[in-house]
Amino acid sequence: MANACSAGIDTGFAALDFGQMVVLGLVQGVSELLPISSTAHMRVVPAVLGWPDPGSAFSALMQLAALAAVVTYFRHDVREIASGSWLALRRRETGGPQFRLAVGIVLATIPIVVAGVLLAPLLNACGSPLRSLWVIGVSSIVMALLLALAEWLARHDRSVEQARLRDFLLVGLAQVGALIPGVSRSGSTLTAALGLGFKRTEAARLSFLIGLPAIALAGLKEAVELARAGIDARAVALLLVGLVAGSLASFAAVWGLMRFLERMSSWPFVLYRGCMGILLLLGVAAGWLH
Helix (H) or strand (E) holding 206, with range, is helix 200-229
For residues 98 and 81, the answer to whether their CB atoms sit within 8 Å is: yes
Show Cβ contacts of residue 233 under 8 Å, excluding neighbours closer than 6 positions: none
Mean pLDDT by 10-residue block, N- to C-terminus, for the chain (290 residues)? 55 90 95 92 90 86 94 96 92 86 96 90 69 91 97 91 96 94 94 96 97 93 85 92 96 97 96 96 89
Instruction: Specify the pLDDT at position 3.
Output: 44
Instruction: Specify the pLDDT at position 234.
Output: 93
- ∠ Cα 205 208 209 (to 5°): 85
Phi-psi category of residue 81: left, alpha or beta, with phi > 0 → left and psi -120 to 50 → alpha:
alpha
Instruction: Specify the pLDDT at position 59.
Output: 85
Instruction: Specify the pLDDT at position 2.
Output: 41
- ∠ Cα 202 98 67 (to 5°): 60
Q: How many CB atoms are located within 10 Å of the residue 252 CB?
A: 15
pTM (two decimals): 0.90
Instruction: Specify the pLDDT at position 1.
Output: 38
Instruction: Specify the pLDDT at position 129.
Output: 74
For residues 63 and 243, the answer to whether their CB atoms sit within 8 Å is: no
Helix (H) or strand (E) holding 216, with range, is helix 200-229
Show Cβ contacts of residue 230 under 8 Å, excluding neighbours closer than 6 positions: 6, 7
Q: Find the farthest-apart pair of alpha carbons in the chain and give their distance in angstroms, rounded.
A: 64
